[in-house]
Amino acid sequence: MLSPVACLRLISTLSFVTAAIFFIIVMLEYAHFNFGHRRYTDLDSSYPTESSYYQLINLGGSMEPEMEESRREEYRQSIAQVVDRLPKFRETVTNCTALAKHSDFKLFHAAKLWKFDSQLYKEKLFENATDRCQAIKERLAFFAEPLSEEEKDFPLAYGMLVYDNPLQIYFLLSAIYQPQNAYCIAIDEKSTEEFKQDMELLSDCFPNIFVMHVSKVEWYTYSVVRGVWSCVRYLAQLRHPWKYYQYLSGVDLPLKTNLEMVRIFKQLNGTPNMDIHPIPWDRIQRVRDQQHPIPMFKSSLSGLISRESVNGMIESELVRQYLIFAQQLDCPDEALWATMLGNPQILNIPGTFNGSAMHSMVKQQFGKLPKRCKMADKNSVMENLTAEEPFALHTYYISRYQIWVYTPNTRCHGKFTHWSCVYGILDMTNLLSRPELIGHKFYLNIEPAAYFCIYETVRQRALDMESQRRFRGEVYSQLPQVKMAQSAPEQDLKFFFTPCQMDDN
């Protein structure tokens, strides 16, 4: 029998062990909560990188080179049901293919009049849902596994800066989502609490979608760069094997499937893709010290940048100094990518190109174009298309297709807002044949039938095993950025301008 003293010692020891076990359980639960609920602000000094979110996602230990046909058919039906739920859409827009071909005037007229009620659809999206995560995954047909081994082995990264229109963001994400990819969404502080909760739901439901809150964003100011750069920095530090980064706007829509993008990125072979222009004088007129640290170029915020280039930018002290300088600029987000990657003589970053030489060649080739578009010019662009190469290059910039009010020899069949085209139904044929990866921009209150027809067409094409298997995208290897990286002679570089589809330079 134990003595009273021994009993007390035993009780004390057991209490300590029990307390220790309880403490460990609590800490594990705390760690799990923080791991599963990734909401950080742009003021955080560091991001969670010790564990890989990529490893959280069950991509399958071994999979066939392509998804089984029965599973693809399930997804086809699910995507069709997403569009079926649009009130009166199927009754009104009976044939998206005919609509895109402009072959039925009555169909066009009916589709043009069709309206979309975002609030009503959002209510129905979660109607009678006991599990909101399950509802958004199933009712918007998010892919739960990679469609092919090739896509699994070449994951992509996307960054977004958003502040409203949650339902359109849901649609966009369902169109570009793949479980092997990485996504970062930066939420503008001035967004409503309801919108913030709508975005945080994505982080709760998908382990590869990261949501952060950033300080108030005012367009045309450095706050845009701060929000975008916060996501870029997070993605760079993430222990995830993504290969290429692309920035998305909430009013974008993909024109290519994930596999098509993967094969296009492989043709880019680590080179960046962005437009390049001189910096307008009015962007730097408020700068106190005109001796900026890097020669500047103007480019769209929508660019394609390899992981190696992103890592190089994040680690560069000169890039850090430039970001401090850029706080003085007007519209500094358009002085970002081409400036950082167009100065190889100053910045030792993978993927850099000679921005001065590039712009000089762009200007020279653009200046040689005739001012008018002839039918023969249109036919020459389209005559060499095949199932393996269905997209003809019209330009050297393939990240985003956007029509500006001043872009020559182009038409906007929707409506111009803020000098930029909101696409309409008659733009569908052009959009579906364009070489760019993303179309910008779409509003769900301006001819929304165009949006949902393209949405369904591209998503269903991703499940068309035959067309996806045949697509090569080798024409993208002829882009001048790729050829410059291969030290091709200047006279051999083509920028693919045509008088029918010209970009402003």
Question: What's the pLDDT band for 503 if we cut at 50, 70, 90?
Answer: very low
- Reply yes or no on whether the pLDDT at 43 is more than 60: no
Rg for the chain, CA atoms, rounded: 25
Specify whether the CB–CB gap between 108 and 425 falls below 8 A: yes
Contacts of 174 (CB under 8 A, 6+ apart): 82, 140, 141, 142
> Distance (Å, rounded) from C-alpha 154 to C-alpha 112?
39
DSSP conformation class of 490? G
Question: What is the average pLDDT score of the chain?
Answer: 87
- pLDDT at site 62: 41
Lowest mean pLDDT among 129-133, 191-195, 369-373, 486-490: 369-373
Question: What's the pLDDT band for 37 if we cut at 50, 70, 90?
Answer: very low
- For 33, 173, 350, 407, the CA distances from 239, given in Å and listed in that order, are 19, 22, 19, 41
Query: pTM of the entire structure?
Result: 0.88
First to last CA, the chain: 94
